């Protein structure tokens, strides 16, 4: 009997993972995926909102540094250099050992008012 329960549990789990893979990413990754869609379409204000929603639900999530970086990129693309600068700087401070910190440093150099070394 226990073998049947184990098999049923494994089969159900496999079915759930398979359905996630075949459904839209919106249903599997929530606000982060929605943010990516908005960012890709150039709707930066909605992208910022969805990235922030992801961060409020997953402050230590695996995509937190990426979300912060793309919030900054969205601000920059929207023309809000001051807010972009603050957010890129936050990425550098909060995630110093990541590639996102390095990318943020590069972006800081391209913002209006940046000083070249």
User: What pLDDT does 11 receive?
Assistant: 39
DSSP 66: H
Please give the model's pTM, rounded to 2 decimal places.
Answer: 0.73
Range of the structural domain that residue 86 is part of: 25-110
- CATH no. for residue 89? 1.25.40.10
Looking at the predicted structure, is the pLDDT value of residue 7 above 50?
no
Q: What is the pLDDT of residues 35-88, one digit of tens each?
A: 999 999 999 999 999 999 999 999 999 999 999 999 999 999 999 999 999 999
Q: In terms of Cα–Cα distance, which of 97, 98, 103, 99 is closest to 84? A: 103
> Cα–Cα–Cα angle for 57, 61, 62, nearest 5°?
150
Residue 41, domain member (yes or no): yes
CB atoms within 10 A of CB 81: 15
Residue 19, domain member (yes or no): no
Number of domains in the chain: 1
Which position has the token pair 């793309």? 70
Mean pLDDT of the chain: 81
SS3 108: helix
């Amino acid at each position: 009997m226990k073998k049947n329960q184990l098999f049923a549990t494994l089969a159900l789990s496999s079915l759930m993972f398979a359905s996630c893979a075949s459904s839209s990413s919106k249903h599997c990754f929530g606000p982060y995926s929605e943010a990516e869609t908005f960012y890709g379409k150039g709707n930066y204000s909605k992208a910022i909102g969805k990235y922030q929603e992801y961060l409020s639900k997953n402050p230590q999530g695996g995509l937190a540094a990426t979300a912060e970086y793309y919030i900054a990129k969205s601000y920059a693309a929207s023309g809000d250099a001051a807010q972009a600068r603050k957010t890129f700087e936050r990425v550098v401070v909060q995630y110093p050992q990541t590639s996102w910190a390095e990318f943020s440093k590069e972006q800081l150099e391209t913002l209006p008012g940046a000083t070249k070394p």
